[in-house]
A and B are shown apart, each in its own frame.
Chain A
Amino acid sequence: MTHRILIDPVTRIEGHAKISILLDEAGNVWDAEFHVVEFRGFEKFCEGRPMSEMPGITPRICGICPVSHLLASAKAGDAILAVAIPPAADKLRRMMNLAQIVQSHALSFFYLSAPDFLLGWDTPPADRNVFGIVRSHPDLARAGIRLRQFGQEVIEILGGRKIHPAWAVPGGVRSALSEEGRDRIRSGLPEAFRTSRIALDLFKKTLETHHQETEIFGNFPSLFMALVADDGTWEHHGGNLRFVDSSGSIIADRIEPHRYQEFIGESVQNNSYLKSPYYLPIGLPGGMYRVGPLARLNVCEHMGVPQAEAELRAFKKLGRGAVTSSFLYHYARLIEILAGLEYIERGLDDPDLLSDDLRADAGINSLRGVGASEAPRGTLFHDYTVNRDGILQKVNLIIATGQNNLAMNRTVAQIARFYVRGKEIPEPMLNRIEHGIRCYDPCLSCSTHAIGKMPLHVQLIAADGTVINEVTRG
């Protein structure tokens, strides 16, 4: 008999999803599936639009990472125009992407994830949120909010607005950095650095008491993929694709992003709008790979900036080869915030940022263009096919969260196996499963182009297919 418990509300994931936990005859968990049940259709309705509009349209996929779509889209446009963009435009785009990584990671850590390990897994859901942190750790909450604000303000200073700036365009960007804007960014950096340090220290302390979470929240071998500079330096907007395995060995390297289809296959689940990309040369199930902060730090050899480099050294010691626990995505995120701030600081004095040579002009010179960039959540591809007049014929968006789909399934199953005993699902267990998903900071509205808020729906399904228990929140 189905028993339905409603827990309301839940807000710390974006999008709309449900989880099925499958039990065997003996009532033990044998598998779990993460289903994303909504669909948005950007790939379809963009067909017929002029290519030049895409950096304006695709950021509307998401209010948290619009910059990622903006930049990937502009890059795909560059490829269709077949131009080398002015150096100033590239540097400005990079600065905006760094700001995007800082603000999105700050959101993930301080607003969405920290309530779990700062306030405790078993805290009632009504308190286990950013407002709970405001009550219990007011200074930390304020610092986290201000760090996100810093990232958002850099985006605004560059692009004119915090959310959905229509700034990067095929061929370059629309405006430079002003001297006044540069000074404002500089004045915000010391506080941002301080907060980034506080968060890192806090998380390292958290790790000392969270061995169990590190062991079971998505700790398994997999491949990792990210963009990386050819000399192995951490990348976020340029470079080429590299895959490493869980021993940290490089299995494919210097793959130009436009060749992604030779290396990434997509399988389709019949119960989710989220496709499951995998590493094509190995196939499934061995070809599961992860993207995002954890992958970027596993793939790169050095950070290229001193403070983050020191952190990377400590981070890499947590794995034998690659760091394989998804709980450590949080750690990787904090190191990337630090790196982002260091790169922003380093870039600020470049006189190119004030240049007015910002936009290369050309017609339609290539009928296909692929743009890849590292979004906060992982590698993002925009792949456009146009006709000779620049009208889109085909749009393929490969989203970071989608690429983590198989790993998220695996993570949910791993956590469920550990915590689910029998048919009752206590709330703290639900929260732990949720946190397994939260480690990846998924953006479901991006990955499926889904609409709406995200209630979480967990089903326990017996071997004969009957739903034994069901929990819905939202």
Chain B
Amino acid sequence: MAAKTLTIDGRQVSAEEGATILQAAEEAGAKIPTLCHLDGIYDVGACRLCLVEVAGVPKLLPACTTKVAEGMDVRTDSERIRSYRRINFELLLAERNHICAVCVANGHCELQTLAYSLGVDHVRYDYRFPRWEVDTTHSLFGMDHNRCVLCSRCVRVCWHIEGAGTKNVAGRGAQSRIITDLNMPWKHADSCTSCGKCVQACPTGALFHKGSTVGEMERDRSKLEFIVTAREKGQWIAPD
């Protein structure tokens, strides 16, 4: 595959054709914040936190879904980028009910960690305080739409790693939500294999082990990484 040469934050780097700016930046050591991205599954550009500037393009582009091109000049950090990332992040918080203090994922939450790193100490938008239900019908797992950021990681691992296709995104705009099978209670979703990959993939407390209490939802993402890289690495038994 042909290599492409581009500039990231003033440094010349080369990347394989078809690679994303995010991949190229990672190799070049530039840190771009991500939320909906999960190593091993394809990207959808849902969260808009990895926005970068590309010279000659007036709008900001998501690094996770923009492919590298020859001669591209990328900036991963600027006042404008930080401002837009923060706006997007605050909108995520304002849209649902994120109450860290009593959340099962408190202390182990990617959304929370990102808030700290992006310097989000307050939200400038009115909270919408929507009324969302909690689905605890499944015998092992729970789904709390209040804490969902619609990153769709759960949907992607369900379809493309497990191959079950239980999870989907339904609705439009602010009414978008994750559903199981044909929008039925989780326990009635016959396609679900109860594998728990969605729970491992969730960046927030939206998907959790049933019975979890505050801060108990620690995830082990190495399990996902093992599954995704098993073929590539030829390692078929999970490392300890």
Contact = CB atoms under 8 A, between A and B. Distances in A.
A215 B57 CA distance: 83
Contact of B142 (A50, A164, A166, A363): A50
A57 B144 CA distance: 15
Given A50-B142, A164-B101, A56 B137 contact: no
B133 interface: yes
B102 A56 contact: yes
A469 B90 CA distance: 49
Contacts of A389: 135-137
A55 B213 CA distance: 8
B212 interface: yes
List the 10 shortest-distance A-B pairs measured between CB atoms, nearest first. Answer: A56-B214, A166-B214, A389-B136, A56-B102, A57-B102, A169-B213, A52-B211, A389-B137, A50-B136, A56-B213
Interface string A315-339: 0000000000000000000000000
A89 interface: no
Contact of A48 (B104, B133, B212, B216): B133
A194 interface: no
Interface in B123-145: 131, 133-137, 139, 142, 144
Interface string A355-369: 000000101000000
A166 B212 CA distance: 11
Given A56-B102, A60-B102, A164-B101, A49 B213 contact: no
15 contacts: A48-B133, A49-B134, A50-B134, A52-B211, A52-B212, A53-B102, A53-B213, A55-B214, A56-B102, A166-B213, A166-B215, A169-B213, A363-B139, A389-B137, A391-B136
Contacts of B214: 53, 55-56, 166
Given A48-B133, A389-B135, A389-B137, 4 more contacts: A52-B212, A53-B213, A169-B213, A389-B136
Given A53-B104, A57-B102, A48 B213 contact: no
Contact of B213 (A60, A164, A174): A174
Nearest to A392: B134
Interface in A165-190: 166, 169-170, 174
Interface in B50-104: 101-102, 104
A169 B210 CA distance: 13
Interface string B142-154: 1010000000000
A391 B211 CA distance: 11
A371 interface: no
Contacts of A50: 134, 136, 142, 144, 210
A178 to B, nearest CB: 19
A390 interface: yes
Nearest to B99: A57
A53 B211 CA distance: 8
Interface residues of B, number: 19
Contacts of B137: 389
Interface in A262-288: none
B134 A48 contact: yes
Contacts of B211: 52, 170, 361
A424 B212 CA distance: 57
A164 to B, nearest CB: 7
Contacts of B136: 50, 389-391
B103 to A, nearest CB: 8
Nearest to B208: A50
Nearest to A164: B101
Interface centre among A361, A363, A391 (most CB of B within 10 A): A391
Contacts of A166: 213-216
Contacts of B135: 389
Contacts of A391: 134, 136
A60 B101 contact: yes
Contacts of A49: 134
Nearest to B213: A169
A169 B139 CA distance: 19
Contacts of B131: 48
Nearest to A166: B214
A363 B210 CA distance: 10
B213 A52 contact: yes
Nearest to A388: B137
Interface string A41-66: 00000001110110111001000000
Contacts of B216: 166, 174
Contacts of A53: 102, 104, 213-214
A390 to B, nearest CB: 6
Contacts of B102: 53, 56-57, 60
A228 to B, nearest CB: 30
B57 to A, nearest CB: 45
Contacts of A164: 101
B36 to A, nearest CB: 26
A53 B214 CA distance: 7
Report which residue of B102, B210, B215 has the largest number of chain A beta carbons within 10 angstroms of its beta carbon.
Answer: B102
Interface in A376-412: 389-391
B215 to A, nearest CB: 6
A60 B103 CA distance: 12
A41 to B, nearest CB: 13
A390 B141 CA distance: 12
B131, B135, B136, B211 interface centre (most CB from chain A within 10 Å): B211
Nearest to B107: A166
A389 B138 CA distance: 8
